[in-house]
Homo-oligomer: A and B are copies of this chain.
Amino acid sequence: MSLSETWLNQMQSDGSRLTAPRRAVVEILAEADQALDPGEIFERARRQHPAIGLVTVYRTLEKLEALHLIERIHQHEGCHAYLRAAQGHEHVLLCERCGKALRFVGDDLEDLITALEKRTGFLIREHWLQLFGLCPACQA
């Protein structure tokens, strides 16, 4: 089963109906190798389903985010792009030039977090780690 099928099933289990515009948006996001913002998703979705409205894109994003299937990616240039959600301790590595996004696991932060909790008295519940750079293709 492909990722988009899995997502569609999860949406349906959640009470959502499977419609053509929704399928288009889900497929785009499930297959994307980069974070996409609502405008970009809208443009791509139109190719498959010309009648789709931008509002539907927003609404589908909302649902997918609520199900933790996608999440917003924060960058200097803007914070409105979405990417498939991190699983477990995954973080993200982004190409500053072409936008290519890679998930990676690499959680060596336990020690740092424990030490900080002791020193500051904070109770740390979440962390964001993002790396930015140039992908192989964009270094040329």
Contact = CB atoms under 8 A, between A and B. Distances in A.
Interface of A: 74, 79, 93, 95-96, 102, 104, 106, 108-109, 111-113, 115-117, 120-136, 139
B116 A106 contact: yes
Contacts of A132: 124-128
Given A79-B74, A106-B116, A124 B131 contact: yes
A117 B136 CA distance: 10
A113 B131 contact: yes
A121 B140 CA distance: 12
12 contacts: A74-B74, A74-B128, A104-B116, A108-B112, A109-B129, A116-B131, A121-B135, A122-B133, A124-B131, A124-B133, A126-B131, A127-B131
